[in-house]
């Protein structure tokens, strides 16, 4: 049965774009005496679950933080394992994505990825380009500070060559230079494992996003966890800086999938000439000393209360 044929739950008021920081694969594996590779493999199953739940909730865009720019600092054997799993995913999932009319896009500095993976990404994006049911966005070799720095560098080059005056720079111009130029900003960002930080993920785009932190590890993520987050999201009042909740309004950037005239050179997940350099962040790609901790329980209330809150492989943290 395809995703389109499956029953859907209550989708009224669902977000257009949900982004997930998939965290906890290493801790999940350590709690069971397994290798980190096994934890990452289990995390791929959770990716499929999240995609199915997002489809049932009529979420048009789903972004998954799969591999951060800081993750390159991890041990070489773990990076190699993650690249191997990425190859497997890109080779095995495209048929299913096409079956369900899901478009795949990749954002991040892909020039740091192995050449064969870049080719697989390009092929997958091309083969799914015409799909309009849903858009799955993988953040790979992605760092938000690097993304913003690269955007500033590109605008600076325009100023240096007389194409642009500094006083004419607008927020819209900056947004147009990001990997996500033609993708709506996320309405909701989820993070598993109970950690409460963004870890250099979509910092510009998250300006008005709701944040929900789940007390479960990514490999344990289930559809009911996604639906519970949707219910929490619907209970929140989003004012976007206004005194009252605006009727039938949304923050800038909420265009429809495949909106006419918005196809740009960033469809491949990067802009020409922006592949060099990365921000040296304090997030080393994983929290030292946290991988051997106990596994958070799956209580009925997995959401950390909103009063407190205000990766593909779960490798991003």
Q: Which residues are known catalytic residues?
A: 23, 71
Tokens of 36: 């980190």
Residue 101 class from Cβ within 10 Å (0-12 exposed, 13-18 middle, 19+ buried)? middle
253: alpha, beta or left? (left if phi > 0; alpha if psi -120 to 50): left
Tokens of 158: 């325009």
Asked if 218 and 23 count as a contact pair (C-beta separation under 8 A), the reply is yes
List beta partners, residue 50. none
Q: What residues have CB less than 8 Å from 36, skipping those under 6 apart?
A: 25, 26, 29, 30, 78, 81, 291
Asked if 316 and 67 count as a contact pair (C-beta separation under 8 A), the reply is yes
Tokens of 299: 């209580």
Residue 215 CA to residue 142 CA, distance in Å, equals 24
Task: Look up residue 273 and give its DSSP letter.
Answer: T
Residue 142 CA to residue 108 CA, distance in Å, equals 4
């Amino acid at each position: 049965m395809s995703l389109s044929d499956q029953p859907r739950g209550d989708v009224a008021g669902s977000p257009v774009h949900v982004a997930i920081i998939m965290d906890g694969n290493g801790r999940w594996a350590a709690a069971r005496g397994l290798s980190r590779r096994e934890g990452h493999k289990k995390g791929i199953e959770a990716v499929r679950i999240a995609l199915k739940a997002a489809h049932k909730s009529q979420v048009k865009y789903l972004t998954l933080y799969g591999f951060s720019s800081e993750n390159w600092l991890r041990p070489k054997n773990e990076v190699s394992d993650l690249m191997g799993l990425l190859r497997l995913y890109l080779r095995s999932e495209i048929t299913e994505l096409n079956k369900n009319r899901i478009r795949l896009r990749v954002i991040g500095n892909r020039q740091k990825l192995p050449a064969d993976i870049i080719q697989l990404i390009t092929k997958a994006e091309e083969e799914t380009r015409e799909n309009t049911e849903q858009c799955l966005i993988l953040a790979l070799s992605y760092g938000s500070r690097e993304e913003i720095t690269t955007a500033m560098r590109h605008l600076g080059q325009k100023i240096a060559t007389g194409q642009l005056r500094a006083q004419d720079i607008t927020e819209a111009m900056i947004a147009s230079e990001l990997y996500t130029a033609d993708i709506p900003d996320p309405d909701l960002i989820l993070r598993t494992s109970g950690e409460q930080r963004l870890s250099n993920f979509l910092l510009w785009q998250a300006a008005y996003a709701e944040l929900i932190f789940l007390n479960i590890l990514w490999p344990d993520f289930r559809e009911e966890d996604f639906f519970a987050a949707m219910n929490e999201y619907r209970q929140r009042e989003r004012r976007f800086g206004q005194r009252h909740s605006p009727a039938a309004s949304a923050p800038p950037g909420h265009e429809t999938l495949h909106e006419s005239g918005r196809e740009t050179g960033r469809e491949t997940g990067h802009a020409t000439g922006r592949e060099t350099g990365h921000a040296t962040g304090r997030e080393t790609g994983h929290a030292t000393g946290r991988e051997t901790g106990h596994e958070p329980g799956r209580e009925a209330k997995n959401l950390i209360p909103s009063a407190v809150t205000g990766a593909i492989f779960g490798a991003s943290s």
